[in-house]
Chains A and B, each alone.
Chain A
Amino acid sequence: MKNNLILYIGILIFGIAAPFIFPAFKVQLSILCVLIVLATTWNIQGGEMGYNSFGNILFYGLGMYLCASVQVGMFFPLAEWTESGGEKTFVHTPVQFFQGMAVGLIVAAVVPTIVAGLIGYSILGLRGHYFAICTLGLGVAAGEISGGIEIIGAGQGFTTPPFPDVGSLDSRGEFFYFLSFFVLVLTFVTVRSIYTTRFKLILNAIRDNEDKAEAMGIETMKYKIIGWMISAFFCGLAGGIMGGLVGYIDSTDVAFDGREMGVFMVLMAILGGKGTLWGPIIGATVFHIFKEGFWTFFLGWQYVALGVLIVVIVIYFPEGIMGWLREKYPERFGEVVDEKDRKAQVELK
C-alpha cells in the first residue's frame, strides 16, 4: 500500500513535469492522455463486464461536437460560424474562449451520459457479438448522420474556436495538456475507486455468467447501464478536449471514427490486458509510441501496418501485456504459486 502511494505520487509529479521535460511533445502527450482515458473506460465494458463495445466512439464524437458547438453557440450564431469555415469573422476573446470551453465540457460530459442511460436499456439487452455489431452500427450511423446535418458543418467539417492569444506561444499546448491530464487523473481515481467496491464484483459476475448473476438476485441491467454511463461521461469529456486539440471536426474522420479511434480503444485495452486496472494505461502508452513511430517512419503505410498489428495482437497476444506478466511473475500479483507445479507446467510447454 505504501509502495503504491509512492508510485502514484511519482507518476503525478512526472505527469505535471512532463510538458516541461518534453516541450516538443505537448500535443502528443495530451493525445496520449485522451487515449488512456478512452482505453480505461472501454475496459469497464470490454474487460470487466464482458460487453465488447465498438460504440463508445458514439459518446466521444458526441462530446466533441457538443463541446465545440456550445463553445461557439454561446457567443456567436452557430450556422454562420460553420458556413464561414472558421474564417476570422468571429473571434473569441480569452474570457469567452475559456468560459465556452468550461460550459462546453460540462455539456459534453453530461449529455452523452444521459444518452447512454436512455439507449442503454435497449442496447445492453443484446449479448455477445450482437452487442458488438450493434454498437459498431451505432457508431457508424452516428457518423453518417452527423455528416448530413447542415448546422454542424455537414460534409465540410467544423472548425473549433482557435486558442486565444494569451501571452506566450506555448500556452495552448500547456492548457490542453493539463486539461487532459486532469481528466486522466479524474478517470483513474474514479475507475480505481470503482474497482475496489462491490460494483466491480457485480460487473465481473456479469462477465462470467450473466444468467447466474441474475439468478443470484442482481439487477444486472441496472449495473450494466451504470457502467456504460460512467464510460460515456469520460468518453464525452475526452472527445470535447480532443476537438479543441485537433482544431477541426469531421464527422467520419475525426469525431465518429469507428474505423480508427473506435478500434484503437479496443486494441489498446487488449494490448495492455483487459480486465486489469493498469493494462489499458500500459497498452495505450505502448500503442501510442508504436503508432507515432509508424506514422513517422512508414508514412503512407501506417494503416497497412495497423491492420497487420490488429490481426497479430488479437491472434497471438490476446491476454495482453498484463496477462503475460501475470503468467510470468504470478507472485507479484498476489497469487500463491506452487513451485513444483509451475515448473511442471513450464516443462509441459
Chain B
Amino acid sequence: MDFMVFQYPMISVQACLDGILLGILFALIAYGMALQWGVMNIINIAQGDLVILGGYIAYFMYLYGIHPAWGVIVAPVIMYFVGIAIYKLVINKVVDRDLFISILATFGISILFMQLMNFAFGADVVLANSDYGTTMLFNNNVVLPNSKIFSAFISILFAICLVIYMKKSKLGRAIRATAQNARAAKILGVDTEKVYAATFGINAALCGVAGALISITFTIHPYMGLPYTIRSFMIVIVAGLGNLPGVAMSGMGLGVFEEFADYILGTEFRIGSVFLLLVLILIYRRFKLSKKREYLK
C-alpha cells in the first residue's frame, strides 16, 4: 500500500490523465465487443487475443523499419480478413446457439491464438518504439508520452468514422436492422449471413487498430489477451449495449481506476484488481436488480 498518490496532488493528476488516455483505447475495444454482442448475440473471449495479434502486426512493421504508426492503417485491413476467416470457420456455427457455447468456443480460439502467437513471436514482452517524445505539463510535474496522446486521438477518430459509417452507409443500416430484429431483416432482403461476417470483420479490424496503438504506447505479450477481453466486457455491461457515450465514459473510468489501483496497491495487483472489479460490478448489479425481483439478462 502506497498513499503517495494522496500526498502529492500532481501524481493524482498524472494518474487521471494517463487513465483517461488509456480508457479511450479500452473504449474502442469495448465498442467492437458491444457491436458483435448486439448484432450476433455472442460474447467473444478471443477479443483480447485479436487485439494482441493486431499489436504484433504493428510490431513487425517496426522490426522491418517501417514506422509503427502505419500499423494503424495496415493492422485493421489484415485483421478484417482474419475476422472474416474466424467467422467462416467457427463463429457462424455458434451464432444461433446458447451463449455459453459461444463463450466456450471463443475460449478455444483464444487458447489457440495465444499459443500460435507464442510460437510465432516468442514469449518476450515487446513494444514498438514510436520516438514521439513526451509532453510536459504543469511545470514539468506531469509527463505525458506523445504516443499516448496520439493513440487516444486515433481511437477517437476511428470511433467517429465508424459511427458515421454505421449511420450513413448501406451496410451500416443493414447491421443496425439485423441487431434490432434478425428475422425481420432477413424477410426484407438483408443477407444476414453477410452482415454477421462483416460485423465480426469490423470488430476484428477495431481490435487491430487498438492493438497497433497498444504496441506503440504500452507493451504486448502473447498471454496478455484475456485482461483486454474482461475490460471490454466490463465496459459493455456498465454502459449497456448500443450506448456509445456510455462506453466512452465507462472506458475512461476504468482507465482511471486502473491507474489509481496501480499506484495504491502496486503493479502486481493491477490485473487482479481489474478482474475483482468485474466481479464486484456484477454483484452490485445483481443486488440492485434483485430488489425488483429481476436479474441481469
CA distance A270 to B98 in the complex (A): 14
Nearest-neighbour CB distance to chain A for B122, whole angstroms, equals 13
Residues of B within 8 A of A130 (CB): 237, 282, 286, 296
Cβ–Cβ contact A314 & B272, under 8 A: no
Residue on B with the closest CB to A124? B286
Most buried by A among B104, B119, B266, B271: B104
CA distance A266 to B101 in the complex (A): 11
Known A127-B295, A137-B275: A307·B290 in contact at CB below 8 Å: no
Residues of B within 8 A of A304 (CB): 112, 115-116, 119
Residues of A within 8 A of B99 (CB): 128-129
Cβ–Cβ contact B112 & A145, under 8 A: no
Residues of B within 8 A of A134 (CB): 278-279, 282-283
Nearest-neighbour CB distance to chain A for B90, whole angstroms, equals 6
Cβ–Cβ contact A307 & B109, under 8 A: yes
Known A259-B111, A263-B111: A145·B272 in contact at CB below 8 Å: yes
Residues of A within 8 A of B278 (CB): 133-134, 137, 141
Number of residues from B at the complex interface, CB < 8 A: 42
Contacting residue for B295 out of A125, A137, A306, CB 8 A: A125
B84 contacts A by Cβ under 8 Å:
no
Residues of A within 8 A of B101 (CB): 314-315, 318
Known A148-B272, A266-B104: A133·B112 in contact at CB below 8 Å: no
A321 contacts B by Cβ under 8 Å:
no
Residues of B within 8 A of A52 (CB): 100, 103
Known A126-B295, A148-B268: A303·B226 in contact at CB below 8 Å: no
Q: Contact flags (1/0) for A273-305 with B, using CB distance below 8 Å?
A: 000000000000000000000000000100110
A44 contacts B by Cβ under 8 Å:
no
Chain A interface residue bracket vs B: 35 or more
Known A127-B296, A307-B115: A133·B103 in contact at CB below 8 Å: yes
A209 contacts B by Cβ under 8 Å:
no
Cβ–Cβ contact B100 & A147, under 8 A: no
Cβ–Cβ contact A144 & B100, under 8 A: no
Residues of B within 8 A of A126 (CB): 282-283, 286, 295-296
**How many residue pairs bridge A and B at CB < 8 Å?**
130
CA distance A85 to B107 in the complex (A): 34
- CB under 8 Å from chain A, chain B span 57-87: none
- CB under 8 Å from chain A, chain B span 253-297: 266, 268-269, 271-272, 275-276, 278-279, 282-283, 286-287, 290, 295-297
A308 contacts B by Cβ under 8 Å:
yes
Known A148-B268, A314-B104: A140·B109 in contact at CB below 8 Å: no
Nearest-neighbour CB distance to chain A for B16, whole angstroms, equals 24
Residue on A with the closest CB to B37? A129
CA distance A141 to B290 in the complex (A): 25
A122 contacts B by Cβ under 8 Å:
yes
Cβ–Cβ contact B230 & A137, under 8 A: yes
**Chain B interface helix/strand/loop/mixed:** helix
CA distance A311 to B272 in the complex (A): 27
A123 contacts B by Cβ under 8 Å:
yes
Known A122-B283, A310-B105: A141·B295 in contact at CB below 8 Å: no
Residues of B within 8 A of A125 (CB): 286-287, 290, 295
A132 contacts B by Cβ under 8 Å:
yes
Cβ–Cβ contact A311 & B279, under 8 A: no
CA distance A96 to B18 in the complex (A): 53
A116 contacts B by Cβ under 8 Å:
no
Cβ–Cβ contact B226 & A259, under 8 A: yes
CA distance A147 to B267 in the complex (A): 12
Cβ–Cβ contact B296 & A315, under 8 A: no
Residues of B within 8 A of A138 (CB): 275, 279
Residues of B within 8 A of A309 (CB): 108
Nearest-neighbour CB distance to chain B for A271, whole angstroms, equals 12
Residues of B within 8 A of A315 (CB): 90, 93-94, 101, 105
Nearest-neighbour CB distance to chain B for A323, whole angstroms, equals 14
Known A144-B275, A304-B112, A314-B108: A129·B283 in contact at CB below 8 Å: no
Cβ–Cβ contact A308 & B103, under 8 A: no
Cβ–Cβ contact A140 & B296, under 8 A: no
CA distance A122 to B287 in the complex (A): 8
Residue on B with the closest CB to A50? B100
Most buried by A among B43, B99, B111, B297: B111
- CB<8 Å pairs between A and B, sample of 14: A125-B286, A125-B290, A129-B99, A130-B282, A133-B230, A134-B278, A141-B276, A143-B272, A148-B266, A300-B119, A303-B114, A311-B112, A314-B101, A318-B101
B interface with A by C-beta (< 8 Å) = 43, 90, 93-94, 99-101, 103-105, 107-116, 119, 226, 230, 233, 237, 266, 268-269, 271-272, 275-276, 278-279, 282-283, 286-287, 290, 295-297
